[in-house]
Amino acid sequence: MISRPKPRVLIAEFMDEPAIDALRARHDVRYDPDLFGKRDELGREIGLADALIVRNNTRVDAALIAAAPKLRAIARLGVGLDNIDQETCKKRGIAIYPATGANARSVAEYTIAAMLFLQRDLWSSNAETGAGKWPRLEFSNTGEALGKTLGLIGFGQIGQLVAKLAMPFAMRVVATDPAFPDASPLWAQTGVAPRSLAELLGESDIVSLHLPLDATTRGLLDHAKLAATKRGAFLINTARGGIVDENALAKLLRNGHLAGAVIDVFSDEPLKSGSPLAGLPNVWLTPHVAGLTREANARVSAIAAEKIDQALRN
């Protein structure tokens, strides 16, 4: 009997080792966590691949897909699909498997931590306290979460979990999402009040983004909408950078209309030097890590491995 060669799985970004080992038991696996940054090598390797596993750094565009005649499935170690040419995949019959829900808890916890961090203005104390300045009086003007209004733009799985985690702080939570009309039973079930985007921006003390980047959301928070936020509000973005006009955001943070922001995602990643957000005293920047924890990595990796294994065996 002639044995068939094992299907080839190409993993172009970091993945949990036990999940990789599970794939190796049935498939020929090529794993290079830095391959996404080596475009020429990626282009050669993809030509041999039956399946591809990526995070958000790998640009799976039409050119890369054209170089992959055997490609049958793509797994995304996360949920956002804006780095994958979905239309070309559809035409080619290539299945796409996001790890939906696997990192929701990590993103939600990050959001709550950012919210509390912003309320207490904690970033400003570290250097001064370490230098012996003891800036205790300034902190009498920081705030609590109690009684504040948290506005969620996007009320999918992550947004709903953020709302659930915020409730014990006795916060008032409002949200906007075109997928859920005002008559949806979800609002009563979650205790969250539906709002239009304009209403939400005008009444929220903290605005947090939890929606995908697509044609309808790109540039959603432009200068006019950001300027319509409640004066002294805070902004948290763990969704996608392209949703927010970064120049407008920086301007409103500088002039004090927005009191502060925690930004985890950017229009161009990695964030380029000279960004208008860099160096602002009331902004905390992180490198797209809201969904990255040991636990989330294990979950997304296990889901991706299972989906690819099933796709190739079928």
CB proximity list for 69: less than 8 A, separation 6 or greater: 47
**DSSP assignment letter at 219:** T
- Burial label for 116, CB within 10 Å (0-12, 13-18, 19+), is middle
Check: CB of residue 210 under 8 Å from CB of residue 158: yes
- State how far the alpha carbon of 238 is from the alpha carbons of 32, 169, 185, 195, in Å: 26, 21, 26, 20
C-alpha distances in Å from residue 304, one per residue of 82, 207, 289, 313: 17, 31, 19, 14
Cβ distance 273 to 244 under 8 Å?
Answer: no
- Catalytic member of 288, 294, 306, 313: 288
Catalytic residue list contains 257: no
Say whether 105 is catalytic.
no
> Who contacts 148 (Cβ-Cβ below 8 Å, separation ≥6)?
119, 171, 172, 205, 206
Q: What are phi and psi of 223, to 5 degrees?
A: -60, -45
Buried b (16+ CB within 10 A) or exposed e, 76-97: bbbbbbebbbeebbeebebbbb
Q: Per the residue annotation, which of 72, 76, 105, 240 is the catalytic one?
A: 240
Axis-axis angle for helices 104-120, 294-313 (nearest 10): 160
Distances (CA, A) of 47 to 8, 15, 69, 84, 155: 10, 21, 6, 17, 39
Catalytic residue among 109, 199, 203, 269: 269
Say if CB 62 and CB 42 are below 8 A apart: no
**In angstroms, rounded to a whole number, what is the distance separating the alpha carbons of residues 179 and 271?**
31
Can 41 be counted among the known catalytic residues?
no
- Residues with a catalytic annotation lie at 240, 269, 288
